[in-house]
Structure 1
Amino acid sequence: MPAIEVLVHGVYELGPEGFSCALIEWLSEGRVVPIWLTPADATMLDLRLRGIHSRRPTSHDLIAQLVEVQGGVSTIVIDSYHEGVFSATLSLSDGTSFDIRSSDALMLSAVTGHSVYVEHDVLQQCSLYLGVEDLKHYFGIDLGGEGEHGGGNVDHDHSASGDAQADADFQSLMQSMGVTESDLRGEAEGDHEGPETDVTGESDDEK
């Protein structure tokens, strides 16, 4: 099955620690995938998505220029997920391809204007249902009324699944990243110091 185009909603913070993630949406299914980012990556992506440019070219601007010299971007695809790490592939029009971080995939998409695609298997593995209330509570996203969520099958009372499974899936995903329910609600839990795993979802050797 071909990779599926997704919508990049933006960069958001979760919990009192302010863990940052980019939220992408599988439009036809009304499902979302949070991709965890380092503070530096989150800041750069957030600024670019909001149309704020630096006075001098960034490293991603340079990469985009070099890519154009080679014929331009063909596809930007997030194509694998393993043990909390997303991987992506940048493919050029001349057939050359590069293994890149998911955060760089999102940034190059913002810089070049090319859409981000995600492999169907990755979406099935990592995506979750979030209803309108969940989006407001966890990400501060107000869809502004019925019918604006891409999936079209969203239960606007709570979860798109219509049962507790969607909430359980979301809680499980947050816990896998080291974020607890009390973190999300801003409640103190003794000397909690945040997740033991890297909240970027990327291993040290990929940074």
Structure 2
Amino acid sequence: MIPVEFRGVRAVGPEGFRCVVLRWEQRNRILPLWVSPLAAEALAEDSEPRRPSTADVLAEVVRVAGATEIGITSAFEGVFVATIVLDDGAEIDARPSDALLVARALELPFGVAEDVLTQFSFFAADDSLREYLNLSFGPTPDSVSLASRDAQADADFELMMRQLGVSEEDLSGGSDATGDDNGERDL
């Protein structure tokens, strides 16, 4: 598995769907992971609860048993599958959000299978990341040579945003080509 960075939870689109942003640093690509509002809240909070949550209990069991690997191992019909591999070789099937919670609680690296990253991650220019996700990775040594004017990367990102139901009108306030909002076009 290839290690990825957890870059936070973001609300995306007009519906505010929750998206965990994982970054594949070597390729400067992101892997969006859609999660429930409850999982998003658990991943976003940094406070210590008075009593352990279910994820805290699972993390403690994994800590006692020992873990050799935690991460997303496959995808089937658009659903990511995560696995927690214990020291004795036993594998625990988990939702990616739960596996990520365990990895963060134990301060262990979180990885993603290379074939999953290759198929589902995408490059996004820094200005697109700022616009859509309020994120900035800044230039990396590998990405400096990749101009933000990469037509294929822009097309991939635009396609993904359309599939999410986000259009330029959603982001620009809905004005048309004439600059007004009445739906008419100047000829």
Q: Report 1:20-59 matches (<5 A).
A: 20-47=18-45, 51-59=46-54
Which residue, 11, 15, 34 being the options, matches 2:9?
A: 11
- Paired residues, number: 174
Which residue, 144, 167, 178 being the options, matches 2:154?
A: 167
Note the C-alpha offset of 1:154. Answer: 4.2
Q: Report 1:1-207 matches (<5 A).
A: 3-47=1-45, 51-70=46-65, 72-143=66-137, 146-147=138-139, 149=140, 152-154=142-144, 159=148, 162-176=149-163, 178-182=164-168, 185=171, 187=173
SS at match of 1:86: strand
> What is the letter of the counterpart of residue 160 of structure 2?
L
> What is the letter of the counterpart of residue 159 of structure 2?
S
Percent identity for Structure 1 against Structure 2:
36
Give per-residue Cα distances to partners, 1:168-195, cap 9 Å, x unaligned: 212322344x42324751756xxxxxxx
> With CA pairs under 8 Å and 6+ residues apart, which has the higher RCO, 1 or 2?
1
> What is the letter of the counterpart of residue 106 of structure 2?
T
Take 2:169 and 2:78, find their aligned partners in 1: how far apart are those partners? 19
Q: Greater CA radius of gyration, 1 or 2?
A: 2
Note the C-alpha offset of 1:84. Answer: 1.9
Aligned equivalent of 2:182: none
| Cα 1:116–1:134 shift into 2, 3 Å | same
Take 1:170 and 1:29, find their aligned partners in 2: how far apart are those partners? 15
Structure 2 unaligned blocks of 5 or more? 175-187
- Whether the 8 Å contact between 1:30 and 1:154 is mirrored in structure 2 is no
Q: Tell me the C-alpha RMSD between the 2 structures.
A: 2.1
- Structure 1 stretches of 4+ with a deviation exceeding 6 A read none
- Whether the 8 Å contact between 1:131 and 1:155 is mirrored in structure 2 is no
Instruction: State the TM-score, normalizing by the size of structure 1.
Output: 0.76
